[in-house]
Structure 1
Amino acid sequence: MNDYFIYDSRLKIKIPKLTKPWELYSGYIQNSILTEWEKIRGGIPDRIAELEHEINRKQNELNLEEDFPHSCKLNEEISELASIINDLWIWFRTTQYISIEKVHN
């Protein structure tokens, strides 16, 4: 499956890496890709929970921080974590739609 997925170091998950239109893959390959993706996709909520925990920790630190430059750094880190969460939700929902569509066709 390494031909169809690539590790995203920012998201810390493997994401699909398709080199041609979906319909050009054989049914066997499509099913294999979807099976692998469902395993990966199943871990996305846990990854999001980890990031939310990290955001909460940084927000608590920010609430006590008196050094303005450090506060700015914490805000930037929180913003990046929130962006990663947003991207993970996009991956989670987008491929869910694709999976459902392919099953019904």
Structure 2
Amino acid sequence: MLQDNVVNGVKASAHLMDMQDGMGRMIMIMFTDEESGALISEGQCAIKVESPDQTLGSAQMMAMNENMFSSGVKLEQKGTYKFTVGTKLADGQKRSFNFSYVHQ
């Protein structure tokens, strides 16, 4: 699990998991309304990945049935990776969530 991140009343919880086929990792993010505790499953997300030495680009995240959004990521170098997730969720407000992970 990566650190939780709260922006304007929405908590983002991120998980980074190994993919079974050895093709990299999957980052999955769940959004929760801080006040009500309700899961937010409607909206759009994109992720930008920064490796230890360069920005790797951005990609649209896919909505999953489990009220999560996901995207495959490759962590080929050792060091700190930064993930910036831009959202426009059901309330129409744009938010940006930041996560980091140290690949050893």
TM-score, normalised to structure 2's length? 0.23
Larger Rg: 1
TM-score, normalised to structure 1's length? 0.23
